Structure 1
Amino acid sequence: MTTGANTGIWRSEALATLRLAVPLAAANLLQMAVYAIDVIFVARLGQTPLAASSLSVSLFGLLAWSLSGLTGAVSALVAAELGARNHAVRSVRRSTRMGLWLAVGTGTLAMILCSFGREILLLTGQAREVADLSGGFLHVLKWAMVPMLIANVLRSVVSALGRPVFATFITALAIAVNAAGNYALVFGHWGMPALGLQGSALSSVITGCVTALAYTGAIFANRRLRRHYLFGHLWRPDWQRLREIAAIGAPIFFQVLAEAGLFGAAAFLMGRIGEAELAAHTVALQIAAFTFQIPMGIGQAATIRVGYHYGAGDRAAMGRAGWASLQIGLCIALFSSSLMVLAPRLLLSAYIDVNAAERAVMVALAVRYLVVAAAFQLVDATQVILAGALRGLQDTKVPMAIALLGYWVPGFGVSVMLGLGTGLRGFGVWIGLATGLAVVAAMLLWRWNRREALGLLHARG
């Protein structure tokens, strides 16, 4: 094969990845804007409500993101089915139906756990006032869990079916709904009661329901999606397909749980160190999480592209899809890292008034945390994209073990040691976060590079 032809193949793969990644990353960024709206409104209620909201969202988000990993496994199955081209319409419908069953079942269990949010926070040593506020917040917010998981399944399916742009438009709609809900319910505008912190939670519930309904409407409205009859026979169990989704998705659940749990645990550590540290951590983490949405979207695209080639049995194309995704992601991560170093106060100003005297300590702490966040942008992008590529190969068990080991031994261990055992305090916690991400990224890179030798390319015929 000539060099020109080889270059053309790589360019074609990169463009195919970008066609998926751009709308998915845009949807992820817009989703962070949905969460940012909550922070912006709640921050105006004061530092204590902001701390309570942060802890509540940490617990809720830990469950929601992990279960999104479990139910989102349908994208890997759908992509492989499309690549294999064997009864794809029926197979896609089976995966969608059982994905929705998982969303409802696991979401209900998560709601029950959220009902004990106050007690969980008290067990972690949080202040009683903050725990009381958090408990009330979670009692409302928990009702957003099931619709959010349903929306995640539908988003995963429509993206794998070549309509990722729907995710962008629907998430943009969610921003408008959440902004209007917070405006009306937190401070009591448009004739609505001023519910304060719980008003923000209720707005999230409304937003989750609208999002799920919007995906449903888009599926019925689009001819290509409608022909898959995705909602057909919803009541009919398909235990084999449910087991297949669970076999791939359960390790993803624990992998996401390990990472989300690390950051959630960091919030609890910050709560023990002080309210100013926790508030600074909340805002700085919002920025780091916002930039992370782009490589996460690329990782989601990598799952679909690698999964498609996996189903088709094209080993060379599997490798191209993974490496092209990683190269794109690292270029973008380098840019976001530079922004955190060169303009941290500008980034912070999107969330808080950086010139307010009463926030001086919080701003100074947040700027320090962003320096560490800048350092781990590249490794964070590496780990999420390679995890996505390996999911396309339906390889999830060992990446799960890597995540559990990397995040919770060196990651959390360093956070506790430096955060609570030295004068570094919150800065030490963030060093621990960076350590965990770096270890996981290195191990996943080794596994992806050795994918053929490890027998991961059992392509379908």
Structure 2
Amino acid sequence: MSTSMSYLGHARALLTLGVPLIGGHLAQFAIQATDTIMLGWYDVEALAAVVLAGSLFFTFFIMGSGFAFAVMPMVAAATENEEGDAHIRRVTRMGLWISLMYSALAMPIMIWSEPILLSIGQPPEIAQAASQYLSIAGWGMIPALGVMALKSYLSALEKADVVLWVTILAAVVNALVNYLLIFGSFGFPELGIRGAAIASVTVHVTSLVGLMLYAIRAFPQHELFVRFWRPDWVAFAQVFKLGWPISLTNLSEVGLFAFSAVMVGWLGTIPLAAHGIALQLASATFLVHLGLSNATTIRAGKAFGRGEVERLKRGAEVAIAMSILFAAITIAIFLTWPEELLSLFLDPDDPRKPEIIAIGVGLMAMAALFQLFDGGQVIAHGLLRGIQDTRVPMFMSAAAYWPVGITSGYLLGFTLGYGAIGVWAGLVFGLLVANVLLMWRFWRRSLPRLQAQAA
């Protein structure tokens, strides 16, 4: 295609790729929500244990997924240059290799997690139940990271619709197995928290098998699993070099939100409840920006592979504009109907509801600002990953999330006494700084360098 592709053409291409990716993220969100709801019905202590266990699992999972994310821009670039099918096979296979190796390192922590949970001050009964869950669910780390690598591979080949349908299937399987094994329905044993863990592993294995079968059938020329055991240390090093900064960036962002919950928890149960609800709403809408970011990575990777800098620049402008447009819609909704949105998560007869909503309305105002800056920084990450620029953005993000975000959140929330709203204002400030730094990196450093190389 010509490098003079119109803005409308870029928008259409971005949405064609982005909508299935957004749907896939929302389906994954539905899996987590189903676990929370069903265990909440079963037993409150089981719910608390799985929330704790899920946080530990997710922290290690999102860190390991950086290597899977690295596959996406590398495959996208390879589709548009002379490296072609051979390089696609090499980087995808080594992405799977690194994911497997990382899983092997993380597994002991999952299986023997109780001492770790006790050491960070968790109640013994909750730590024991969480460890019981992780001793089973931890085995899901292996297929879960394999799924992430194959999702990146297929998405970069513009088969995001398959990723969507596999994730929807996984959500259905998860709900069914949860229902059968948590509650002991239809003659199955009532396993409670262990049933939820078995459901989790079942979902990951089902997804992995489905994606493997599709990849073999749809792209036989890649021979992805033929002589899979053969190492390719050059491709291994390329994936590792691009992936480890993404892993640490993911870890620093997850840590930012985890520690914000700890700080709000210091303020008491009611602020923490309001924080949890507002964060759920902000997370659900953030998934739209994340899907756009993934699509942006692929589109940028293709332009990068072709050496078409003007196409890359125009595509970047469209992606940013689309993120801002969605953020504007979300801001309007969050500011217009905050009480109605918060009430969806609360028992109408709960006597604490007015207090939770009073705090939550302020947090929803912060969440509105959140949308603009969080969306901007994740789009910037998508652009930079597309052109395989990850190391400097890692340092920029870490500095914005922690020294800026956490410190300002503590100062505003506790030193100046603004409470939970102050903590969230710190998050907003950290994301704003990340947005500015990452956009500056793309527009003032990376893009001019590519333009100079193309001249």
Q: Is 1:211 the equivalent of 2:204?
A: no
Q: What displacement does 1:272 show? A: 4.5
Write the deviation string for residues 104-135 of structure 1: whole angstroms up to 9, x where unpaired.
Answer: 11122222223354333344344444433333
Aligned to 1:75, the other structure's residue is in SS state helix
Write the deviation string for residues 43-90 of structure 1: whole angstroms up to 9, x where unpaired.
Answer: 334554444333322222122122212222011111111121x14111
Range 121-130 or range 14-23, more displaced:
121-130
Distance 1:458 1:209, change over 3 A: farther
Q: Is 1:313 the equivalent of 2:307?
A: yes
Residue pair 1:310, 1:460 contacting (<8 A) in 2 also: no
Q: Which residue of the partner structure matches residue 183 of structure 1?
A: 179
Q: Which of 263, 271, 290 is equivalent to 1:269?
A: 263
Q: Percent identity?
A: 35
Write the deviation string for residues 216-245 of structure 1: whole angstroms up to 9, x where unpaired.
Answer: 1222333xx233222222110000001000
Q: Which residue of the partner structure matches residue 71 of structure 1?
A: 68
Q: Which residue of the partner structure matches residue 414 of structure 1?
A: 408
**Structure 1 segments unaligned to the other structure (5+ residues):** none
Residue pair 2:182, 2:190 contacting (<8 A) in 1 also: yes
Q: Which of 367, 373, 376 is equivalent to 1:379?
A: 373
Q: TM-score, normalised by structure 1?
A: 0.90
Q: What displacement does 1:170 show? A: 0.6
Residue pair 1:345, 1:354 contacting (<8 A) in 2 also: no
Q: Distance in 2 between matches of 1:334 and 1:389?
A: 21
Q: Distance in 2 between matches of 1:381 and 1:54?
A: 26
Q: Is 1:355 the equivalent of 2:352?
A: no
Range 243-252 or range 43-52, more displaced:
43-52
Write the deviation string for residues 410-441 of structure 1: whole angstroms up to 9, x where unpaired.
Answer: 11223334445565443333222222211101
Aligned to 2:195, the other structure's residue is in SS state helix
Q: Which of 30, 33, 51 is equivalent to 1:33?
A: 30
Q: Distance in 2 between matches of 1:424 and 1:197?
A: 38
- 1:3-18 matched pairs, under 5 angstroms: 9-18=6-15
Q: Distance in 1 between matches of 2:50 and 2:264?
A: 14
Q: Which of 217, 223, 231 is equivalent to 2:225?
A: 231
Residue pair 2:3, 2:310 contacting (<8 A) in 1 also: no
Q: What displacement does 1:394 show? A: 0.6
* Matched residue type, 1:267: A
- 1:317-336 matched pairs, under 5 angstroms: 317-336=311-330
Q: Which residue of the partner structure matches residue 78 of structure 2?
A: 81
Q: Is 1:160 the equivalent of 2:156?
A: yes
Q: Distance in 2 between matches of 1:6 and 1:237?
A: 38
Q: Distance in 2 between matches of 1:172 and 1:114?
A: 26
Range 19-28 or range 180-189, more displaced:
180-189
Distance 1:122 1:388, change over 3 A: same
Q: Is 1:195 the equivalent of 2:188?
A: no
Q: Which residue of the partner structure matches residue 101 of structure 2?
A: 105
Aligned to 2:215, the other structure's residue is in SS state helix
Q: What displacement does 1:203 show? A: 1.6
Q: Distance in 1 between matches of 2:122 and 2:412?
A: 20
Distance 1:42 1:420, change over 3 A: farther
Write the deviation string for residues 284-309 of structure 1: whole angstroms up to 9, x where unpaired.
Answer: 32222111111101111111111111
Range 141-150 or range 181-190, more displaced:
181-190
Q: Is 1:20 the equivalent of 2:14?
A: no
Q: Distance in 2 between matches of 1:8 and 1:454?
A: 20
Q: Which residue of the partner structure matches residue 239 of structure 2?
A: 245
Q: Is 1:339 the equivalent of 2:339?
A: no
Aligned to 1:451, the other structure's residue is in SS state helix
Range 75-84 or range 265-274, more displaced:
265-274
Q: Which residue of the partner structure matches residue 284 of structure 2?
A: 290
Q: Distance in 2 between matches of 1:335 and 1:20?
A: 21
Residue pair 1:310, 1:457 contacting (<8 A) in 2 also: no
Q: TM-score, normalised by structure 2?
A: 0.92
- 1:429-440 matched pairs, under 5 angstroms: 429-440=423-434
Residue pair 1:76, 1:394 contacting (<8 A) in 2 also: yes
Q: Distance in 2 between matches of 1:417 and 1:117?
A: 33
* Matched residue type, 2:156: A
Q: Which residue of the partner structure matches residue 397 of structure 2?
A: 403
Q: Distance in 1 between matches of 2:414 and 2:129?
A: 25
Q: Which of 139, 144, 168 is equivalent to 1:143?
A: 139
Q: What displacement does 1:280 show? A: 4.0
Residue pair 1:55, 1:267 contacting (<8 A) in 2 also: no
Q: Which of 216, 219, 222 is equivalent to 1:220?
A: 216
Q: Distance in 1 between matches of 2:423 and 2:50?
A: 20
Q: What displacement does 1:260 show? A: 1.1
Q: Which of 50, 54, 57 is equivalent to 1:60?
A: 57
Task: Give the length in aligned residue pairs.
Answer: 453
Q: Distance in 1 between matches of 2:204 and 2:195?
A: 14
Q: What displacement does 1:340 show? A: 2.3
Q: What do you get for the CA RMSD once the two structures are aligned?
A: 2.5
Residue pair 2:5, 2:311 contacting (<8 A) in 1 also: no
Q: What displacement does 1:156 show? A: 0.6
Aligned to 1:195, the other structure's residue is in SS state coil
